[in-house]
Amino acid sequence: MAHLLVLYGTSEGQTRKIARFIADTLRDQAHTVDLMAASEFEDWPSPDAYDAVIVGASVHSGQHQAAVQTVVADHRSVLNRRPSAFFSVSLAVLDEDHHEEAERYVSNFLDETGWAPDEVTTVAGALRYTKYSVIKCFIMKQISKSSGRPTDTSRDFEFTDWDQVARFVDRFLQHVESPDTERTPSPQSTSTP
Ligand SMILES: Cc1cc2nc3c(=O)[nH]c(=O)nc-3n(C[C@H](O)[C@H](O)[C@H](O)COP(=O)(O)O)c2cc1C
């Protein structure tokens, strides 16, 4: 049984929902899991206290949450010595034409933080029209229209592929449960769903 950290950043809640799903999946496999929002901590506990770490963040205007970026950059040397994984939540990942864009968000994040996780995945997020401000709702509707996504602002749309997230957790656990296996961090190779 490992002591694991799931750390996340979210703006509208979808990454928190995914992080909770990941934490529950890990607990179902008898691991001890701390689930934390990066923004809620001034004195973030060192990843040294954990056997392995999963970090998730969502993309807004091409960037992941600054709080997550700060925590990861501050603790990169420990993260690089532990089994670790990153999931990036966006909508670009939904479109074949924009898939490279979703991967670019990730490689920028990893370049800027100096972190080389063992597993990386890009996950489709959600359109939460009912939670957006009027202006945000208008902007997201225009973007959705041009991208061929739903434009009915009276409801929310979730695109997250939960089976993909479960497979990501399985791959992460292989690194946790096989500590003798040599880890080969590959920040440039984002796994496909
Ligand atoms: C204001 C705003 C800006 C966004 N910018 C991007 C973007 O640049 N690229 C992208 O792929 N998705 C973008 N998205 C989509 C979000 O990544 C997606 O809605 C995700 O589910 C948000 O996760 P969260 O609820 O955890 O914050 C944006 C969403 C909003 C509301």
Pairwise CA distance, residues 164 & 150, whole Å: 22
Q: Which two tokens stand for residue 8?
A: 């996340």
CA proximity to 153, closest of 175, 131, 125:
131
Q: Is the CB of 65 under 6 A from ligand 1?
A: no
CA proximity to 124, closest of 154, 157, 152, 150:
157
Pairwise CA distance, residues 95 & 99, whole Å: 6
Q: Is the CB of 125 under 6 A from ligand 1?
A: yes
Q: Is the CB of 23 under 6 A from ligand 1?
A: no
What is the fold, at CATH topology level, of the domain defined by 3-125+160-177? Rossmann fold (3.40.50)
* Residue with the larger pLDDT of the pair 90 and 48: 90
Taking only the tens place, the pLDDT of each residue in 93-109 is 998 877 899 999 999 99
The pTM of the full predicted model, rounded to 2 decimals, is 0.93
| Neighbouring C-beta atoms of residue 187, cutoff 10 Å | 18
Q: Within 13 Å, how many C-alpha atoms sit on residue 151's CB side?
A: 10
Strands 157-158 and 126-127: antiparallel
How far, in Å, from the CA of 94 to the mean position of ligand 1? 12
Specify the pLDDT at position 91: 96
Q: Is the CB of 104 under 6 A from ligand 1?
A: no
Residue spans of the domains in the chain: they are 3-125+160-177, 128-159
How far, in Å, from the CA of 107 to the mean position of ligand 1? 17
CA proximity to 39, closest of 24, 25, 19:
19
Taking only the tens place, the pLDDT of each residue in 12-47 is 999 999 999 999 999 999 999 999 999 987 777 788
Specify the pLDDT at position 189: 45
